[in-house]
Structure 1
C-alpha cells in the first residue's frame, strides 16, 4: 500500500516537471469548468427573477415630476386628494397611475385673426373673438387676453370635478358670458369712449366667478381688453360725428379768437379815450389855475411891460403905427410902415 502511494506521487511529480518543461518552466492554470446542467429548481428561480425585471422595465413604476407641475395619483381609478409635489415618485404598476398636470401660467387669446381654436405655443391658446350684441342688437367683436394658472393645491379636486380639459369648462364659458353681459349694456358708439370702465367690469366679473367657483380651480392673473371691432356703419357714423365735432371746435376757436381780438381793440380804444380825458382834464385844470391867477394887479403889470416894449420899438421905428384895443380884450397891433409886416404883441392893454 505504501509502495502504491509512493508510485502515485512520483508519477504525479514527473508529470508536473514534464509539463513545466514544455511551458518554459511556468505552470499554466487550466480554465475552470462550468456545469450548465442545473437542476429544474434553480432554472425556475432565474426565470422568475428575469421576468420580474422585465415587467418592472416595461411598466416603469416611477414618475419624475418637475417644477411647474403637479402629480395626481390614481389608485384603481380613484384620485388621491393630495397632489404630488415635484420630485421622484413610485407607484404600483397596473394598480396605480400618476397623471401630470401643468400648473404654470396659461394664456387664452380671443382674437378675430383665427376662426378655430389653435395653439400658438407652450401654454398659449388662440380662440375666436367673442361676438357680442350691443344694447341695440348690433354685432360687436371683442378681443381679450386671459392669463391664469391652475390652483396647485387643489389640482386633484379640479381634475376630479372637471377633467383634464377643465379650462374649456371653466375659463372659456365664463369669459364669454361675462363679456356678453358687460358689453350688452352699452351702445356700440359708446364702447370706445367707455373702454376703461368696460375693461374693469370684464376683469372683475371673470375673477369673481373663476376664483370663487367650486374648489377654486384656477387663480386669475389678469384680463386685458385688447380691441373692440365695431360694425362698418357704426364706424362711419362715429367718423362723421368726429368730423362734425372737430368743425364745431374749430368754429368755437375762431369765435374765441375774434372775441379776444375785439376785446384787445376795445381795451386799446378805452385806453386812448382815457388818455384824452386825462389830458383834457389836466388842460382844464391848468386853464382854471391860470384864470384864477390873473388878478387885476397882474394884468396891470403885464400891460406896463408890453407898453415898455412898444416904447422901445418906437425908438427904432418912428413911423410905426400902434393900434390900442380898448379894454385889453385883443392884443395891441404894431404896424411897421417900412416893412409892411403886422406884428402882434401877445399882451393886453388899454
Structure 2
C-alpha cells in the first residue's frame, strides 16, 4: 500500500501553524488583560503616583489595592525604602592640602514628596542618586573641607562629619529626599603630608615616653632619699640610746655568755710555759 508522504507533511505543518497562532493569541490576551486591568496593587515600601494621559495626580497612593481607568491611567510605583549610596571626590583643605574623601550615606524618598520627585526627577531613586545626591555630596564635602586644615580634618573628624551631613541634608530635603545616616569612610592625603603626620605623631610619642621616664627617675630618686633619711634617722636614734651603762651591761652579758659556754678545761700550750695561774712557793 503506497504511503502519502506529502499529505502527512502538510498536516504537521498545519498543526504547527495553529499552535503558533494559539500561543500568539494567548500572549496578546495576557498583555491586554494586564494593560486593561483596572486593579493595581501597591506593596509595602512603595508609594503610587497615578498619571492620567501622562499627567501626574497630586495624591500619593499608599500600599494596598487601587483602581484605575485602563488605557487612560497608569500607576507608577515609587520605592520609599532605605537606600545606600557611596561616593568619593577630591577637595582642598584650609591650608591647601589635597584631600581625597570617601563617604557613605543611607537615605530614602520622603513618601509625602513622591509626586514631586516623580515630576521633577523621575520614577527611580537611582536617577535621584545620580542627579541629586552625588553632586550635592561632592559640593558639601568641598565646602566643609575648605573650613578646616588637614590636621583638623583628622583631629576634629566628628565635627567635620556633622557639618557635611547637615549641609547635605539641607540640599537633599529640597528635592524630597531624606538623609538617614552619613559617614566619612576615609580621608586620604598626599604622601608627603601623611609622612609628616606620622613623624609628628612619633615625636609626640617619644616626648611622652621621655616625660614618663623622667617622672619614674624622679620617683625612684625620692624613694632612695626617703630610704636613706629613714636609715640615718634610725642610726641617730640608736646613737642617742647608747649610754655608758648600756655598754657596761652589754660587756657583762658577753662575759656571762662566754663563761656559760666554757667547759672547764684549760687551753693546751705547745710552746713556752706561761700559765695564766701562778702559785707562789712557801717560805
Give the TM bin, normalised by the shorter chain.
0.5 to 0.7
**Match 2:73 to one of 96, 104, 114:** 96
Relative distance call for 1:171 and 1:91 in structure 2 (3 A) is same
Q: Is 1:245 the equivalent of 2:221?
A: no
The aligned counterpart of 1:319 is none
Q: Is 1:68 the equivalent of 2:68?
A: no
Q: TM-score, normalised by structure 2?
A: 0.68
The aligned counterpart of 2:132 is 170
**Match 1:78 to one of 45, 49, 55:** 55
The aligned counterpart of 1:234 is 193
Alpha-carbon distance between aligned partners in 2 of 1:173 and 1:133, rounded to the nearest angstrom: 17
Structure 2 spans left out of the alignment, 5+ residues: 1-28, 246-274, 279-283
- Residue 105 of structure 1: how far off its partner (Å): 0.9
Q: From the two aligned structures, give the one with the greater helix fraction.
A: 2
- Residue 181 of structure 1: how far off its partner (Å): 1.7
Residue pairs, 1:178-193, within 5 angstroms: 178-193=140-155
Alpha-carbon distance between aligned partners in 1 of 2:86 and 2:240, rounded to the nearest angstrom: 83
Residue pairs, 1:187-226, within 5 angstroms: 187-211=149-173, 213=174, 217-226=176-185
Q: TM-score, normalised by structure 1?
A: 0.56
- Residue 251 of structure 1: how far off its partner (Å): 1.8
Partners of 1:60 and 1:93 within 8 A in 2: yes
Relative distance call for 1:76 and 1:264 in structure 2 (3 A) is same
CA RMSD in angstroms, aligned pairs only? 2.7
- Residue 58 of structure 1: how far off its partner (Å): 6.5
Residue pairs, 1:108-123, within 5 angstroms: 108-110=85-87
Indicate the structure whose relative CO is greater, using CA pairs within 8 Å and at least 6 residues apart: 2
Partners of 1:145 and 1:223 within 8 A in 2: yes
Matched residue count = 218
Rg larger for: 1
Alpha-carbon distance between aligned partners in 2 of 1:340 and 1:69, rounded to the nearest angstrom: 129
Partners of 1:139 and 1:230 within 8 A in 2: yes
Q: Secondary structure of the equivalent of 2:59?
A: coil
- Residue 194 of structure 1: how far off its partner (Å): 1.6
Q: Is 1:57 the equivalent of 2:33?
A: yes
Partners of 2:36 and 2:71 within 8 A in 1: no
Alpha-carbon distance between aligned partners in 2 of 1:65 and 1:133, rounded to the nearest angstrom: 46
- Residue 86 of structure 1: how far off its partner (Å): 2.2
Q: Secondary structure of the equivalent of 1:166?
A: helix
